[in-house]
Structure 1
Amino acid sequence: MDCSSRREAGPTPRGSARRPRWRQARPAHDAIVVGAGVSGLTAAAELHAAGAKVAVVEARDRVGGRTFSRDGWVDLGATWFWDGEAATRDLLAELGIGTFAQAIDGDALFAQAGGVMRLEGNPIVGPAHRFRGGAQALAHALARRLPPEAVRTGTAVRSIAFSSDGEAHVETTDETIAGAAVAVAVPPAVAAASLAFAPALDPSLMHALAGARTWMGDAVKAVARFEQPFWRAAGLAGTAISHVGPFREIHDHSGADAGEFALFGFAASEQFAGLAPERIAERFGQQLTELFGADAAAPTAIEAVDWRRDPFTAPERWADHAGTHYHGLPVLWEPHLDGRLVFCATETAQAYAGHLEGAILAGHRAAAQLLTTLGR
């Protein structure tokens, strides 16, 4: 039933200067998902498959959230999954997305103030797996399972209000969308800082949302592409740990196909406060030359992303109590407001919080919770 249309047909309340904004809402949806990352799209695809009418609202101009791939192999966000992460394996098989092994063969490097040491046999990193098409391929494949009109990108949510008659009203920068229930799939700390809720959420929930520090929310990732994997010719794995910095951790980031050769590095965002991505990329290139020698001095391209400066990943300021110890707390994964509101970013997962595995598990759980609320 289109409850918003039914109410619009009634008389305007006495003393009202104009109709409330929610009365101009689109026809009601069964569920509204805020955030089109892997967790939100997992939930949306399962809700749609169960017959629910779903709207997905995403502030970025793309789907994928913290998966962000270039040219089908360069991952500037999430990159890996590991053995034992069954939900990821199952979803990849279901979506028809291939995988390949992370390159780890060869020796590693360890840099400290006294110089660079070579470590035999790469004791730094173990086996992991990559995604053909890049990690963002998961999000694109999930989005294709939804009607084209269901996903709205470039649309930031401002507020989420629940009326006593069972409707939810999600106000965005462009419109107000009405539905029966809402899944919030943005990072909890971002939800606490940027979304207004009515009625006000329980203080214990708000405390946990604000306290759940975003995975990758303090990180810079840089990727340098090369014509040839010169490190392999030298018997190196491309892996390095540096106590000199600014990049503390470096790995082979080559793709599965010919001509796809790269190294990537992680650094703490605080190392580059206020520095433009181009300058961060330059510093990464310099560090690679310091570690690997002259062969690293001629990358074909370097790209860097400071996830701390992305307002859809991290709030402007972390709460004083923020930390990863809030990840997976019951208050974050339990349903609220009579089951009409659930949270499902990876930080809410009961297992593998922060991983893509956690995002997928949280999406499964949120879909099941909302289907129960919807009586399906």
Structure 2
Amino acid sequence: MGAPIGIAGAGLSGLVAATRLHEAGHGVVVWETRNRVGGRTWSPPLGPDSLQLDLGAAWHWTEHTRVHDLAEQLGIERIRQHEPGIALYEPRAEQPVQHFPWPDTPPPSWRLEGGTQTLAQHLAAALPSDAVKLNHRVTQVQQTDAGVQVHVDGPNGAAVATARRLIVAVPPRLVAHTIRFDPALPDSLASAQRNTPTWMAASGKAVATFADAFWHQQGIDGRVVSHAGPVAHWHDAVASDGRAALAGFLHPTGLQTLATEGKAALHKAIRTQLAHCFGSDAPAPTAIATSSWRTDPATTPPDADPLYVEHPPTPPSVITRPHWNGHLLWASAETATEHPGYLDGAIEAGERTAQQVFEASPKAASTR
């Protein structure tokens, strides 16, 4: 079969590309910096019932048909987000919590049973057993007449691998800071990478498990809007079998507590907030977990603050098309032309690069 097609990154984009290529008969190898697959989809088990909760990407909406189709293909159940009911508003930590009706018909959204990381886990499990190499970081890529040479740091030290093509399924801004290219990439591409925000890189999340969903019994939908923190928005995260949890996005004060005082202090502050919002007599959480993509070196370069944006921007065309005579291609959710930054965009980007490989020929135009 010859040299495989290499893929840097075992997030959703990279594994979708690997799956499509493998299904078409191509050999693939996927190098992943982390000790797990999934990238910014991360759903570790939590609490006495080992409920898998999303500490990264969680929701998809009606227009995200690729997520729906992939979940259906993989046999993963979708959970309609619980919304209607009474929501809570926490203006200040020292002020009473206010109750207000949450709309009966918000735009429908869904979570995945077992968390969104299950998409990546299912895809990786269907690849050849040696295809996905965890704890392997791509550091340098060199163009050759026949493809690329990929320099990788792994558990056994540095190594060089030969690939027919390389799909870079890593956030472009992270690539700009962590992977060296020989020859150097065109200025337009290098600039686009540096200036493409990594979606959700400035955010963090919190999840908490409970013995039961006591808020449902109180007519509360689990939604909390807080200006006090440490969590700015709580959402219902109850599993289809009734295992109870809340999930939320960290307030800037929560991120600051995490950065300066650590997880123990943040978790203590979360318990205090939950007691303030739901009442001191409400059941305490059985477990708490938190995450911050800002401090994750596999998402955000340690020496570069994340670029904050309210919505993922449409990517510049230079990072959606192949380079180096078709031997170097770009994936990751940020490069999607539809729904960039979202789960659906990650799938679109992986499928697009696989299609570009199928269409590539030795006469493909070079952008060197």
| Fold in common (TM above 0.5) | yes
Aligned residue in 2 for 1:192: 176
Q: Percent identity?
A: 37
Aligned residue in 1 for 2:149: 169
Larger CA Rg, structure 1 vs 2: 1
Q: Distance in 2 between matches of 1:94 and 1:40?
A: 18
Contact 1:170 1:176 in 2 (8 A): yes
Gaps spanning 5+ residues in structure 2: where? 46-50, 363-368
Pick aligned residue for 1:333 from 320, 326, 334: 320
Q: Distance in 2 between matches of 1:203 and 1:326?
A: 20
Aligned residue in 2 for 1:134: 115
Q: Distance in 2 between matches of 1:37 and 1:254?
A: 25
Aligned residue in 2 for 1:91: 70
Contact 2:210 2:283 in 1 (8 A): no
Specify whether residues 275 and 337 from structure 1 end up closer, same or farther in structure 2 by C-alpha distance, changes over 3 A only: farther
Residue 134 of structure 1 deviates from its aligned partner by 1.5
Within-5 A mapping of 1:220-231: 220-231=204-215
Q: Distance in 1 between matches of 2:269 and 2:211?
A: 20
Residue 105 of structure 1 deviates from its aligned partner by 2.7
State the one-letter code of the partner of 1:101. Answer: R
Specify whether residues 342 and 302 from structure 1 end up closer, same or farther in structure 2 by C-alpha distance, changes over 3 A only: same
Contact 2:43 2:54 in 1 (8 A): yes
Q: Distance in 2 between matches of 1:139 and 1:247?
A: 27
Is residue 160 of structure 1 aligned with residue 141 of structure 2? yes
State the one-letter code of the partner of 1:338. Answer: N
State the one-letter code of the partner of 2:123. Answer: L
Is residue 120 of structure 1 aligned with residue 101 of structure 2? yes
Residue 374 of structure 1 deviates from its aligned partner by 5.5
Residue 284 of structure 1 deviates from its aligned partner by 1.7
Pick aligned residue for 1:58 from 21, 26, 32: 32
Specify whether residues 133 and 374 from structure 1 end up closer, same or farther in structure 2 by C-alpha distance, changes over 3 A only: farther
- CA deviations 1:163-217 (Å, max 9, x no partner) are 2x12211111132111111111111111111111111111121111111221121
Aligned residue in 2 for 1:367: 354
Q: Distance in 2 between matches of 1:336 and 1:326?
A: 22
Q: Distance in 1 between matches of 2:58 and 2:11?
A: 14
State the one-letter code of the partner of 2:302. Answer: E
Give the TM-score taking structure 2 as reference length: 0.88
Is residue 292 of structure 1 aligned with residue 292 of structure 2? no
Aligned residue in 1 for 2:81: 102
My pick for the range that moved more, 195-204 or 123-132, is 123-132
Aligned residue in 2 for 1:266: 249
Q: Distance in 1 between matches of 2:289 and 2:105?
A: 24
Q: Distance in 1 between matches of 2:167 and 2:320?
A: 11
Specify whether residues 99 and 321 from structure 1 end up closer, same or farther in structure 2 by C-alpha distance, changes over 3 A only: closer
Residue 218 of structure 1 deviates from its aligned partner by 0.9
Q: Distance in 2 between matches of 1:221 and 1:151?
A: 27
Specify whether residues 155 and 351 from structure 1 end up closer, same or farther in structure 2 by C-alpha distance, changes over 3 A only: same
Gaps spanning 5+ residues in structure 1: where? 3-27
Specify whether residues 275 and 340 from structure 1 end up closer, same or farther in structure 2 by C-alpha distance, changes over 3 A only: farther
- CA deviations 1:224-281 (Å, max 9, x no partner) are 11001111111111101112223211111111113x1011120243563333223222
Specify whether residues 321 and 42 from structure 1 end up closer, same or farther in structure 2 by C-alpha distance, changes over 3 A only: closer
Q: Distance in 2 between matches of 1:232 and 1:146?
A: 41
Q: Distance in 2 between matches of 1:34 and 1:337?
A: 16
Contact 2:201 2:306 in 1 (8 A): no
My pick for the range that moved more, 70-79 or 260-269, is 70-79
Look up the SS of the partner of 1:369 in the other structure: helix
Q: Distance in 1 between matches of 2:300 and 2:80?
A: 30
Aligned residue in 1 for 2:48: none
Aligned residue in 1 for 2:366: none
Give the number of equivalent residue pairs.
347
Aligned residue in 1 for 2:332: 345
Look up the SS of the partner of 1:48 in the other structure: helix
Aligned residue in 2 for 1:6: none
Aligned residues: CA RMSD: 2.1
Residue 295 of structure 1 deviates from its aligned partner by 4.2
Pick aligned residue for 2:129 from 148, 156, 159: 148
Q: Distance in 2 between matches of 1:129 and 1:238?
A: 15
Q: Distance in 2 between matches of 1:73 and 1:126?
A: 24
Specify whether residues 212 and 275 from structure 1 end up closer, same or farther in structure 2 by C-alpha distance, changes over 3 A only: farther
Residue 325 of structure 1 deviates from its aligned partner by 6.3
Q: Distance in 1 between matches of 2:237 and 2:105?
A: 15
Contact 1:213 1:318 in 2 (8 A): no
Specify whether residues 101 and 92 from structure 1 end up closer, same or farther in structure 2 by C-alpha distance, changes over 3 A only: same
Residue 56 of structure 1 deviates from its aligned partner by 0.4
